[in-house]
Every structure is written in structure tokens, then in C-alpha cells.
Amino acid sequence: MSETREHLIHWLRDAYAMEKQALEMCERQSERIENYPELKARIAEHVVETKSQIARLDECFKLLEESPSAVKDAAGWFMGNMQAAGGMLMPDEIVKGSMASYVFENLEIASYTILIAAAEADSQPKIASLCREILEQEKAMAEWLKNHLSETTKTFLQRDEADVKARA
């Protein structure tokens, strides 16, 4: 197997673990969010997109007659749970969560940009095109989150002030 092919498979496995983690994170977030209906709905929509991305990655592995790694899967699952558990302790978790999600989407954007280049270098146009489809969804999600960071923060701050007044 060529070095390029080996790198491609390795990076596809990284992406697979990343998406499993993304799925875990988004599912937890969409379940937990109560007071931000627009954000909740957008994350729930991204849960559906993330499942379709995992299916596309499965297709990439089939095209190469390879499979995703089970070990990385478990690691991703663990990380997702840890992050959700950490979030429960913070009163400003909606703000921290929005920030973490935006960072995560940008990690995904970098990963698929790299995968597209590797697939092209390995003459795998179908894999490049599947990764391009995923990349577009990640870009749209990152853009949406960026555009709503300010509003989410201000809503949180208003709610927090109101909570303090209600308790006083």
C-alpha cells in the first residue's frame, strides 16, 4: 500500500472518531438546551447531518476496502461524555457550549479540507466528493454558530440577571 493511501485511511479513521464524538456532543446538547429554541433546533438538525456524514465515511471505507477503527471509536465516545459531564457543572454552559461547538466545527472543516487533498493525491475522486459534501455542512454549521454567538451570549446574560433579581 502506498504511503499516501495509508495516510488517507488513517485520516479517515480520525474523522470517523471525530464524528462519533460530534454526534455524542450534539445529541447531549440538543437534549439539554431548554431556553434557546433556535440553537436547539439547529443542533438537532446537525445531529441528522452528522449521522449522514458517518454514513458517507462508511462509504469511503468501503471504497478502499477498509474499516474504521474500533479503539478510536471508544475514545471518541469517552471524550464526548466527559465534555457533556463537565458542562453540567457550569451555569454558563450555553455560552461555553456554543464556543466549544464553534471550535469543533472548525476542527471538522480543517479535517475535511485535509481529507479532500489526500483523496485527490490518491486519485480517489469519489472519496474527495463525499468529503466535499460533508465539508459544506460543517462550513454552514460553523457559520451559523458564529452568527449566533453574540445573541446567545446576550440572551444568557439577560436571563442570568433576571434569575438573580428573582432570587433577591
**Cβ atoms 107, 55 nearer than 8 A:** no
CB of 104 to Fe ion, least distance (A): 7
Of the candidate spans 9-17, 35-43, 49-57, 110-118, the one that interacts with Mg ion by CB under 5 A turns out to be 49-57
Of the candidate spans 56-64, 104-112, 125-133, 153-161, the one that interacts with Mg ion by CB under 5 A turns out to be 104-112
105 near Mg ion, rule: CB under 5 A: no
CB of 124 to Mg ion, least distance (A): 20
CB of 161 to Fe ion, least distance (A): 32
Q: Which residues bind Fe ion (CB under 5 A)?
A: 108, 138
Residue 52: how many other CB atoms lie within 10 Å: 12
* Cβ neighbours of residue 82 closer than 8 Å, sequence gap 6 or more: none
Nearer to Mg ion, 79 or 155 (CB): 79
Residue 94 interacts with which of Mg ion, Fe ion, none, CB < 5 to 8 Å by class? none
CB of 22 to Fe ion, least distance (A): 5
> How many amino acids of this chain bind Mg ion (CB under 5 A)?
4
108 near Mg ion, rule: CB under 5 A: yes
Rounded to the nearest 5°, which phi and psi values hold at 161? -60, -45
124 near Mg ion, rule: CB under 5 A: no
53 near Mg ion, rule: CB under 5 A: yes
What b/e string do you get for 76-86 counting C-beta neighbours within 10 Å, with b at 16 or more?
beebbeebbee
Residues at the site binding Mg ion, with contacts judged by CB under 5 A: 22, 50, 53, 108
